[in-house]
Chain A
């Protein structure tokens, strides 16, 4: 019976570990919801969308519009994924189907390294290199465009690595079959590989998107942080994440509660994306 008792210990420690991990996520979520409820009831949900602006610390005259931040988050994320999606997928295609093995290996190590660079370094680079370049196009430089470019650079590695994994998962039989039928490599990729890896590529894009939504430090450093709905790519913006990071340190009462509401909004976006990703993954497994 000795074996069984060690087995039991193992099972219970595994249970404890997964319970800890799971309950932490739930705790954070509960905490966010509880703190937000206070904000929603005290300020009123309508004001997050209808107030004229974001002036959260002016007592009775405070304005709590989250619209500029939501717009900035959505615009920067969409812009980043529009750039990084195709680049990442095509890089993966090159790496998987065109590059000689040595180059492909080197390329992948570089991409893995890129994925590991701390976001503050991206932000730093963006601030000293990218922002002046954008300023030459149109001042002030710290802008939505700079944010999009930095975010795109940050998520290209994520998208490329996951897309590469998705392409590798295409059954070799499909590739052989296509080759034997006399398809050129590019036709094989477009007509056989992409359809069969579609779900996996979708997951790559979604995870890249999540990373872009959640990114804080780099966008805070290059976006200019003005709470105004942007009317062009060159306008400075402030994302939801940057807003929380900038203001939570000194926020009190309603202001603090509303910041939690914006955290909850972020969390809802991520939950929706996770949902999409899970569906895609289930499809990928069935295909």
Chain B
């Protein structure tokens, strides 16, 4: 993989939006003072879903999903599909529930005692939330990369093959093979191959994050969850991660949470815009960024709001 400085990534589409092209809200909502105000008042509304999202084969489906932290509802009736082999981005202002939604996919929210959910998600057609699901097995099928790189305090090699180790894989040649493939997959092989036995904590932040991606893909997950994977990285490291996402596309289905509009527009195929726990608009990234149906989405993606 060649190092491309962040600035020269060519995938960014122009973010200028032709005026007047965005569809208006229905009159009734507009009269009530806009969609965001309506959401703030807790009024129900229909998510705007672009038709193009329906033709794809979904790897992950979210249906009528609600989540409460104690009494406070954090997710409201979310329905969403993550198409197979594609990158789906979750965007929205802080506190809109995008990370919460992401963490529901591998049931990380089980760790929080006060969390209650309703609705369901399915991974390749299998329910994630019905009683009796083996959460451990579920998590093994889902890779996750966090905001802050979190390699374990052990060698680079051990980090990558960790998921195999805990499944009892002892065969050195298998481990070596997986280690190399995963590190290559994460674009880290050339930098790491001569120091596989040194501590992962000695790497730079960007390298650590790619190591975490290598660790996640070593288990060959059905879907890869990325929770703001670049927010703790400098622009060059961010550029490399974005390149990597582009390379992983097709092989892996990716769901990524990001605060960075450019990143969503560059890296993703589909984009879901969330606000205060609701899914507002969901469609192909080009359409969301260039021809959003809602004025609110347009305002957000162009930076006029949020």
**Residues of A that sit less than 8 Å from B by CB:** 100-101, 171, 173-174, 176-184, 187, 191-192, 195-196, 287
Known: A180-B106, A182-B136. A196 touches B166 (CB 8 A): no
Residues of B210-254 contacting chain A, CB below 8 A = 212, 215-216, 219, 225
The docked-state distance in angstroms from the alpha carbon of A287 to that of B200 is 11
A181 with B113: CB separation less than 8 A: no
Contact present for A176 and B113 (CB under 8 Å): no
What is the minimal beta-carbon distance from A199 to any residue of chain B, in angstroms? 11
Complex Cα distance A30/B225, Å?
63
Q: Are B212 and A181 in contact (CB under 8 A)?
A: no
Secondary structure dominating the interface of A: helix
CA distance A141 to B136 in the complex (A): 51
A283 to chain B, nearest CB (A): 11
Q: How many residues of B contact A (CB 8 A)?
A: 29
Complexed CA–CA distance, A147 and B305 (Å): 70
A174-B150 contact, Cβ under 8 Å, with A101-B113, A180-B106, A180-B108: yes
CA gap between A174 and B148 in the complex, in Å = 10
Which residues of A lie under 8 Å from residue B106 when comparing CB positions? 180
Chain A residue nearest to B136 (CB atoms) is A182
**Residues B153 and A181 in contact, CB atoms below 8 Å apart:** no
| Interface check B139, CB cutoff 8 A | yes
8 residue pairs of the A-B complex, CB under 8 angstroms, read: A100-B113, A180-B143, A181-B215, A182-B140, A182-B219, A184-B136, A191-B166, A195-B153
Task: Specify which chain A residues have a CB less than 8 angstroms from the CB of B111 in the assembled complex.
Answer: 179
CB contacts (< 8 Å) of A100 on chain B: these are 113
Which residues of chain A have C-beta atoms less than 8 A from B212's C-beta?
Answer: 177
Residues of A within 8 A of B113 (CB): 100-101
Are A173 and B153 in touch, CB under 8 angstroms?
A: no
User: CB-CB < 8 A to B149: which residues of A?
Assistant: 173
Residues of A within 8 A of B153 (CB): 174, 195-196, 287
By a CB distance below 8 angstroms, the chain A residues around B137 are: 182
Q: Does B140 lie within 8 Å of A181, measured CB to CB?
A: yes
